[in-house]
Amino acid sequence: MMNNEKMNQIIDEVYENYLIEDARILPNMSKEKMLELGFRLTKEEFINKCKTDSEFSERWGLKIEERELFMEEGEDLRLKLILEHLNKKGIITSSFEDFKKDENIIPNIDWRREVWGMIIWINYGNGIITNTLEEIYDDVKNLPTKLITITYNGTKIESYE
């Protein structure tokens, strides 16, 4: 996923800045002060400290938040993946965003019901089981359960895990 790559690039950049600052300051600092300020952390320790220590996170300009997805968010993600699959195959031209937008424009429309109706029609239309979506069903069974958000230099990036 492109967001994961971008997140990793940002984390690598911030961690590199941390290491440069670390190397610049450490020769003149006591071990106790190093530990107090959080220097000489591994990359994993650095990431965890950014997640849990807001002062440390602010100092390096990297905010990392993780949270479990709500059930509705997981279902929306499932529908989004199915729609992306159908778009790639050229079976439909509507996107996830198109369906969500319709909900705001057309009163009393339930975009989820509309999407599931379309999926059922594509897969089982005319009483013939086509299994058009069979290849994606395995992918959508093991959906991510966590949303990871990083904020850096005013840019917010979200990714699922």
pLDDT tens-digit map of 107-129: 777 778 888 888 777 777 655 55
% residues pLDDT > 70 (the chain):
80
Residue from 65, 83, 82 nearest 159 by CA: 65
Residues 11 and 46 in one domain: yes
Residues 81 and 122 in one domain: yes
Q: Which domain holds residue 76?
A: 71-141
Instruction: Find the length of the chain.
Output: 161
End-to-end CA distance of the chain: 11
Between these two residues, 140 and 113, which has the higher pLDDT value?
Answer: 113
Q: What is the domain count for the chain? A: 2
Residues in contact with 6: Cβ distance below 8 Å, sequence separation at least 6, in sequence order: 157
Cβ neighbours around 28 below 10 Å, total:
7
pLDDT on residue 38: 63
Between these two residues, 14 and 3, which has the higher pLDDT value?
Answer: 14
Residues 8 and 60 in one domain: yes
pLDDT in tens, 41-93: 889 999 999 999 999 999 999 999 999 999 888 888 888 888 888 888 787 88
Q: What distance in Å separates the CA atoms of residue 30 and residue 108, rounded to the nearest whole number? A: 65
Q: What distance in Å separates the CA atoms of residue 21 and residue 35, rounded to the nearest whole number? A: 15
Residues 84 and 135 in one domain: yes
